[in-house]
Structure 1
Amino acid sequence: MSTELTIGTYRYEHTEALFDGRVKIDGVDAALATEPLVSDLFRNMLQGRYDIAELGLTYFLRTFDLQDPPFMALPIFPNRNFRHSAIFVNTEAGIEKPQDLAGKTLGEFALFGHDAGIWPKGILSDEYGVSADQCRWVIGGTNHPVPAFDWLPQPVPDGVHVRHAGDGRTLGAMLASGEIDALISVDVPQAMMQGSTKIARLFPDYENVERDYYRRTGIFPPMHIIAVRKDLVHHGEELRSVYRAFVQAKELAQRTYLEDALKQHMSLVTPWFSSLFERNRSLLGEDWWPYGLHANRTAVDTFLRYHHEQGLSKNLLTNRDIFVPEFLHT
């Protein structure tokens, strides 16, 4: 008899095969769901509406400071991105290099320490000597007002000044007007997309900067994991099936790109994509979006360290603390 599980994940190209039935989860009667916003998945998982679901890494890790942490993780990383490109500056704020951020007022999307903010803040500290306590912080939505999330712990470390943007305010508009000097955001400011000269990226040549970062560190930064209710941790066979299914769905998406390369990706509307694809394969390898802990250990260890250093985890967590034990050797 199949085990019934409610599973939530965003509908990415590398999870699409789970939704359209090309990949089945053996031994599981899966009620698969997605949400209009990926943050809706986070909120609903934290509120107990899923058995297994995609969670932003910081949303997941903050639960380990609760009296009874409710989740463990599978080493599935459905969302990842390089994040030097997530730092935007007002072009009149006198910010020419990363060190110029010290003493400035920075916006941050959604909360102090969102997933796409922890990575660049950690990199700024490690590589440029700029730490969060050297800046002032304003939290809010980039292109649309976002209220303070009230469904997860939001610690702010001592010595760091954080306030929420006022009602109806957006960080993108505040950046364009000079009310804040810089912004760390998963979303690109709309004004920049519309050609505003008031906003630029801190790293204009971000692609080459991010490629160099990967060459030096081997880190392709993960943003999200797949969380499991702790009472399901001992359902080994079912969790192995879930893991295998996510791997298979991801591999199907990768295979499509490999097969399309024979036809120079003429099914896509992006010109010169084949050139980009070959450069990425040369740098990232044949499995450019790896699951499993072995291929992601350095990245996960780095994120855990950043999360603790930025005052978001009381304790420095390890892989053994957060992953279902059976998957530590994947």
Structure 2
Amino acid sequence: MDPITVTLVAKDYGHLAPLAVGDVRAEGLDLRVDRDTRRAIDRTLRDPEVMLGESSISRHVARLAAGDRTWVGIPVFLMRGFRHRCFFVRADSPLAGFHDLVGKRIGTDNWMASGNTWSRAAMREQGVEPSQMRWVCGPVDGPPQDRPQGNLPGNASMAPADRNLLDMLLSGDLDALMCPDPPRGFYTAGSPVRRLFPDFRAVEEAYFQRTRLWPGIHITVIRRTLFEQHPQVAPAIHDALEASRQAWLGSRLALHETPWLLDDLEASRAQMGAEWGANGIDANAAMVAAFCQESYAQGLIPEPVEPDALFAEYAEAAKQ
């Protein structure tokens, strides 16, 4: 039987490299990787030609809550990340922690984005509720993103059409930013912006020790039309992507091209366990359950979504 040809549209993650260059192969598939860092999420969201792509876990949960079964989730977490690093203030700001944000004005790029959901979850873990501050949504330092914001709560509004959030922060119209990447000019000498938590690694390590969560932000999804025709594709993709991640990790342990990458890898293994970052349902059950709980608690979905629903059809296919 000829292999099934399918293309994965995803960002240019290092852990995809062994699969992209052919060092790892998917059983029964001619699996190609279209690494499109700038457009992968939007293409998966909008292009009906994309059969296998990268989706935010937030939008996957929202689709399930709305009864939209266009995509079938595969428990491969293409992007993960701690979020305390994603809060920024002016360099001269006295703000130094989540409790200092109570009553303040915070700008964020997209209300329902998975990363921002985890950022608000980190605040809630410390007893600070998003309802205790005012929010402004809009572009951080460039053109607006054409992505749905979701239903904004009563204490959130859109930024003026002629302003971006960085300018509003620097002019004093905002007190802080919550966004996935540092704003423009952050890495220049004398930057007017700093992180809320300058030693974000220590704060994030403490968060992990308390929660045992390494937040999953983006997952892999397969279009239902392909899944129903070839359900065996889903577990084959999972296995290939996990094998690619393992091969990537092994090469980094052997080569560790940056000065202290080896130390970082060994520290991650010591703190998070030998299987840190593993894909699959069981390895991520607690994290997925926490995200579903946060999505409902933060008002992103009208009714709770059971964690098992995210990958239920994949689980059935994997049993075959």
Question: How far off is 1:197 after superposition?
Answer: 5.5
| 1:273 matched to 2:272 | no
Query: C-alpha distance in 1, partners of 2:210/2:124?
Result: 16
Uncovered stretches (5+) of structure 2, i.e. residues with no partner: none
Write the distance in 2 (CA, Å) between the matches of 1:148 and 1:140.
Answer: 10
Q: By how many angstroms is 1:279 displaced?
A: 1.6
1:38-63 CA-partner distances (Å, limit 9, x unpaired): xx222222222311111111222222
2:270 alignment counterpart: 282
2:6 aligns with: 5
Structure 2 residue corresponding to 1:301, chosen from 282, 289, 305: 289
For the residues of structure 2 that align with 1:44 and 1:189, how far apart are their CA atoms?
Answer: 24
C-alpha separation between the residues in 2 aligned to 1:220 and 1:200?
A: 24
Q: Residue type of the partner of 2:301?
A: S
Say whether the 8 Å CA contact 2:5–2:30 is kept in structure 1. Answer: yes
2 CA distance for matches of 1:20 and 1:137? Answer: 43
Gaps of 5+ in 1: none
SS class of match (2:216): coil
Instruction: State the alpha-carbon separation in 2 of the partners of residues 137 and 148 from structure 1.
Output: 19
Q: For 2:71 and 2:165, locate their aligned partners in 1 and report how far apart those are by CA, in whole Å.
A: 32
> What CA RMSD, in Å, does the superposition of the two structures yield over aligned residues?
2.2
Q: Write the letter of the residue equivalent to 2:41.
A: F
From 151, 154, 157, the equivalent of 2:150 is 154
Whether contact under 8 Å (2:86, 2:182) holds in the other structure is yes
Distance 1:233 1:315, change over 3 A: farther
CA distance in 2, matches of 1:195, 1:256: 34
> Which residue of 2 is the match for residue 35 of structure 1?
36
Larger mean CA deviation between 220-229 and 194-203 belongs to 194-203
* Cα distance, 1:323 vs structure 2: 0.7
Match of 1:244 in 2: 239
SS in 2 for 1:162: strand
Between the aligned partners of 1:123 and 1:26, the Cα distance in structure 2 is 39
Residues 215-249 of structure 1 deviation map (CA, whole Å, 9 limit, x = unaligned):
12111111100012234444332222111110111
- Confirm or deny: 8 A CA contact 1:139 1:165 kept in the other structure: no
In structure 2, C-alpha distance between the alignment counterparts of 1:286 and 1:62, rounded to whole Å: 32
> Residues 244-274 of structure 1, C-alpha deviation per residue, up to 9 Å, x if partnerless?
11011101101112223xxxx3xx2x32333
2:89 aligned residue: 89
The Cα of 1:165 is off from its aligned counterpart by 4.3
Question: 2-side partners of 1:326 and 1:191: how far apart?
Answer: 43
Local SS of the residue matching 1:192: coil
- 186, 193, 196: which is aligned to 1:192? 186
Contact 1:138-1:165 at 8 Å conserved across structures: no
Give me the identity figure in percent.
26
Query: Tell me, what secondary structure is at the counterpart of 1:79?
Result: strand
Superposition deviation, residue 301 in structure 1: 1.0
> Does 1:59 pair with 2:54?
no
State the alpha-carbon separation in 2 of the partners of residues 148 and 132 from structure 1. 24
Q: Aligned AA for 1:230?
A: R
Residue of structure 1 in register with 2:143 after alignment: 145
Structure 1 contact 80–221 (Cα < 8 Å) conserved:
yes
Aligned length: 315
Matched ranges for 1:226-241 at <5 A: 226-234=220-228, 235-241=230-236
Aligned to 1:163: 158
After superposition, give the CA deviation of every residue in 1:75-127 in whole Å (9 maximum; x if it has no partner). Answer: 10011111111111234554233112122111112x11322211121121232
**1:101 alignment counterpart:** 101
The amino acid across from 2:310 in the alignment is: I
| CA distance in structure 2 between the aligned counterparts of 1:32 and 1:310, rounded to whole angstroms | 35
